[in-house]
Amino acid sequence: MNASKDAKTEKRSDVVKKNRKRCKTLTVPKSLARQGYVVWFYEHGKYLGLAWNETASEIEKAHVTDDDHAIYFETFAQAAVACDKFVSPCRVLHSPGPGERPKLMG
């Protein structure tokens, strides 16, 4: 390898190291109420759920704090599509069952 390729490789590795330092570790909830895939807004500690909107007099999708009121999707694809519709950073969690530790999916 010549000197210019070595310099490029070093720069790339420095960028990767900086990005790893900037990424904060997410603290996944210890358990969820049911089995399925949940949209989790990790910066707010909330889930995608349903809530009553007084002004519209109807039930709408909203951020909910209680995982029991979250929307549980049957597939990862359904949850991922729901994630795409929100500006707030979110991830998908998979709960294997009630009271079991969820897995961070994407």
**Domains held by the chain: number:** 1
Question: What's the order of all strands across the beta sheet hosting 46-53?
Answer: 58-64, 46-53, 36-41, 91-95, 103-104
Give the end-to-end CA distance of the chain in Å, rounded to a whole number. Answer: 37
Q: Is the pTM of this model over 0.85?
A: no
- Has residue 95 been placed in a domain? yes
- Has residue 4 been placed in a domain? no
| pLDDT tens for each residue of 72-104 | 999 999 999 988 877 789 999 999 999 899 999
Residue ranges making up the domain that contains 85: 36-104
- Has residue 14 been placed in a domain? no
**Gap between the Cα atoms of 106 and 103, Å rounded:** 9
The helix/strand/coil state of 26 is coil
- Has residue 77 been placed in a domain? yes
Whole-number pLDDT of residue 54 = 92
- Has residue 78 been placed in a domain? yes
| pLDDT tens for each residue of 40-52 | 999 999 999 998 9
**Gap between the Cα atoms of 65 and 37, Å rounded:** 16
- Has residue 28 been placed in a domain? no
